[in-house]
Amino acid sequence: MTIGSSPTEPLDLAVIGARTVGAVLARAWAGAGHRVTIGVRHPDAPEVAALAAELGAACTATTPAAAIAGATVVICAIPGSAMAGFVAEHAPALGGRIVIDATNDLSEGAHDPSAIGDLARLAPTALAYRAFNSVGWENLTNPMFGAVRADLFFAGPDGAGRGTVARLIADAGPRPVYVGAGDDAHRAVDALATLWFCLAFGQGWGRRLAFRALSAADG
């Protein structure tokens, strides 16, 4: 398992969860040439088999444990409320791998939408990143708004895994924007998800909504 991968070599990716976000990312990454293993509780379920068949040789479906075992990068796209259990069950296997938490725990009483805290506690050697959680899946499938490419903000350690996560965001479609490694950076990424919900649903903008950072480089 090589964490600091070469920028062109295909990556071995475990996509945990295959409904909406998992399927969108599996399609994008298989299309970009990566080897995608979908990890789900029921790998023979018709919708999972259909997705694996659609993606052909670039994709297989198996259990979460088997998917993680063969992966350099693990992407979590399951309900946020299931993440504490998932991390506890797979903590030893997640150690040493890049783990991207795309989940949001929106259940009543949840005080943290992300599982970054669970990962830090139970799998401290995992390189844990927060990404793909801040906008609806439609904006990953199509990140273009006219001529403007939407940004996707991510947080996590500045080191071996950062470039790989940025590459995976770019391969999915949006422009990757690194926010930082500390608590503030993680809170900022999660706040974007809150902003997305407020605008998309609270203010009626709808789900076709994403973000773009502007800087001096934009003129």
**Applying CB under 6 A, which residues contact ligand NAP?**
17-22, 40-42, 45, 77-80, 82, 86, 102-104, 132-133, 136-137
Please, which residue, 37 or 133, has the CB nearer to ligand NAP? 133
Q: Which residue, 3 or 105, has its beta carbon nearer to ligand NAP? A: 105
Please state the closest distance from residue 167 (CB atom) to ligand NAP, in A: 19
Strand partners, 37: 14, 60
| Least gap, CB of 121 to ligand NAP (angstroms) | 19
Which CA distances in Å does 8 have to 5, 33, 167, 177?
8, 9, 9, 20
CB of 218 to ligand NAP, least distance (A): 26
Amino acid identity of 89?
E
User: In the complex with ligand NAP, which residue's Cβ is closer, 45 or 53?
Assistant: 45
Contact 170, 34 (CB under 8 A): no
Residue 160 CB, nearest distance to ligand NAP (Å)? Answer: 25
Q: Which is nearer to ligand NAP, 5 or 154 (CB)?
A: 154
The CA–CA distances, whole Å, from 165 to 69, 77, 102, 143, 215 equal: 19, 15, 12, 17, 22
How many Å apart are CA 162 and CA 178, to the nearest integer?
A: 8
Nearer to ligand NAP, 5 or 55 (CB): 55
> What is the spatial distance between Cα 140 and Cα 144, in angstroms, rounded to a whole number?
9
Report how far residue 164's alpha carbon sits from residue 141's, in angstroms, rounded to the nearest whole number.
20
Q: Which residues of 149-188 are buried (b: 16+ CB within 10 A; e: fewer)?
A: ebbbbbbbeeeebbebbbbbbebbbbbbebbbeeeebbeb
Judged by CB, which is closer to ligand NAP: 37, or 103? 103
CB of 130 to ligand NAP, least distance (A): 11
- Write down the least CB distance from residue 128 to ligand NAP, Å: 15
